[in-house]
Amino acid sequence: MIPVAVTQRIVVDPVTGEIRLALDVRWARFLAAAGLIPVPLPLEAALARQVMRAAGCAGLLLTGGNDLGEVPERDELELSLLAAALARRLPVLGVCRGMQLILSAFGGVLQKVEGHVGVQHRLADGRVVNSYHNWGAVEAPREFTVTARHEGVVEAIRHRVAPVVGTMWHPERTDPFDPADLALFTELFRSSDESRHPGRGAWFAHGRPHVGPAEVPAGDRREDSA
């Protein structure tokens, strides 16, 4: 099985105030079905990069949970990991918040969307997917192709050059797992494992990632984002 680095959501224990990292148990089952094995990452960026290298991770999965701007430490970690993965030509796949972070890093703008939390909806191609997000984009940065939409909202993206993909739906929450999602993960990360070309630079529009344009205003953050 191929190891893939996986970021985690941050939760605070209401009794002790302890800060914890958490990952939906369904991710392990989903990734295993795609021939992959998760390598959960710590919150410290330098240590997380060391873990990725030591484990020989074939790519980076940016998972859901925590609105952008809600937990700055996570934003900083994932932007750092995204830049590092791009510099090493490792594939990156962002799910829900993960896709939002990718859009933000390339200068995309998020806006509030209605009717996208805890529902199933149909994409333009007829596929039905789950939805758990309050924020979305209606346009993608010029570096990306929009590969799925729902009523004008961008639901999936693919970088035109780099191995970077994003989906707003949660493939790990689909029961049974959708073969199309499994194939996407297998194709993206297995190709990297078979042939890697590190050290060829990154693909950020302005040379570095940034959160600013798409940061969710503090007063509008929602706990039910996934």
Q: Report the first-to-last Cα separation within the chain, whole angstroms.
A: 27
Beta-bridged to residue 18, according to DSSP, are none
Alpha carbon distances (Å) from 56 to 37, 48, 117, 160, 202: 11, 12, 36, 26, 20
Question: Are the C-beta atoms of residues 124 and 133 closer than 8 Å to each other?
Answer: no
Spatial distance between the Cα atoms of 147 and 149, rounded to a whole number of angstroms: 7
Catalytic residues: 96, 170, 172
Distance of CA 172 to the CA centre of its chain: 13
